[in-house]
Structure 1
């Protein structure tokens, strides 16, 4: 019994050391600018390339969880910036929980842009490869997420193709 407790304690300590070794990341100023550059700022609701109502810096939902709808407006850029910061903190927490390997700030910012746009990191092969330590394989996965659904069909979007290429390039860029 004592051996089982000791082994269990050692496993717990090992897991805690692994978690402690991984830095908690937040969006860098460059990462935030990257997302802003991709999304653009609009204070009046518009339909994005997939036909989803969007506002501010590419947000489809407000901080309270309500979806953006036709006719919505934000009073000023400060409100859009606040919503962006709120969303980035939530996505950063998701990434920090999902990623089990040590990554640098560029890799984090690339993942943050990807998650901000797709919300699909948790179900992606990109994450599986990353957590397996296959960084090159993970980078190659960005390009697979370049389609939008139009009239019930997946079609390649040049805008998303370009975005994914920039994210993959940033992901592979050393600090």
Structure 2
């Protein structure tokens, strides 16, 4: 009888984000060759550059907003962040075998939400709760922005469709 406290290992280590997954990620991240405030209007959100690369939390400075970034730098950061997200998925999902589509979706989710933002969904996937993981992914649509009174969480409308796409492989019946 299998031990529920120590589920068998699954080997996802050979999975890498597919070309199609990278193309979808590039489309959703829409590379920019300059620094910008991710979150709408300038002075809100977080200082970001390239293909969704976080420079730091909080808005960009005036000097940062004038900074240009070259295509080679954007591509290098994009590839590095994909590799980082792949390593996170490999490390956090070790008890459930993933399809290529599921792996691509999780790498995209980790790329955008970060390890801490994706941790709950990764745990749910690793423990076989795909329905719960799909729900957790779909709910990760908020961002914190600065206001005159401090900070508040707001819906990032651009994430709604992305999260639907990332959660879809976990809503489909197992094959």
Query: Following TM superposition, by how much is the alpha carbon of 1:38 offset from its aligned partner in structure 2, in angstroms?
Result: 1.0
Distance 1:22 1:32, change over 3 A: closer
Mark the structure with the bigger radius of gyration.
1
Q: Name the TM-score, length of structure 2 as normaliser.
A: 0.76
Q: CA separation in 2, counterparts of 1:90 and 1:122?
A: 15
Equivalences, count: 154
Among 88, 106, 113, the residue aligned to 2:108: 113
User: What is the aligned-residue RMSD (CA, Å)?
Assistant: 2.7
- Counterparts of 1:120 and 1:79 in 2: how far apart (Å)? 23
Structure with bigger helix share is: 1
1:58 corresponds to 2:52: yes
Runs of 4 or more, structure 1, over 6 Å off, are none
Paired residue for 1:35, among 7, 10, 25? 25
Unaligned runs of 5+ in 1: 1-13, 63-67
Query: Counterpart in 2 of 1:91?
Result: 85
Structure with more strand by fraction: 2
State the TM-score, normalized to the length of structure 1: 0.76
Any conservation in 2 of the 1:108–1:171 contact (CA below 8 Å)?
no
Shift of 1:24: 2.8
